[in-house]
Amino acid sequence: MVTINVRGIPLEYYDDLRMLAEEEGQSINAEARVIIEDGIRQRVIRKKREEALRKAGESRRLIGYLGVDSLALLHEGRDER
């Protein structure tokens, strides 16, 4: 494991961190690690989702929407019943 020092944390955030750590029965260090891990995990997931959406958008632009009229398909499906 590595050690990092974080400077410039507003007092209100430190107080919240201390309160959360106390509620969880953790040290401030352990609680900070949990918060950092959760935050990183969420940001990585969000970035992957954004990238997937971007690629999907590019694919749609490249191949178009396949010229399919969804409303026509719905009507066609109802007519077949």
**Model confidence over 57-69: pLDDT tens digits?**
888 777 766 666 7
Q: How much is the pLDDT for 57? A: 85
Is 6 domain-assigned? no
- Letter string b/e over residues 7-43, b meaning 16 or more CB atoms within 10 A of that residue's CB: eeeeeeeeeebeeebeeeeeeeeebbeeeeeeeeeee
Domain with 49, as residue range(s), is: 11-79
Count of domains forming the chain? 1
| Residue 1 maps to a domain | no
pLDDT at residue 81, as a whole number:
67
* 3 found inside a domain: no
Q: Is residue 20 part of a domain?
A: yes
Higher-confidence position of 73 and 30: 30
Statement: the pTM of the whole predicted model exceeds 0.75: no
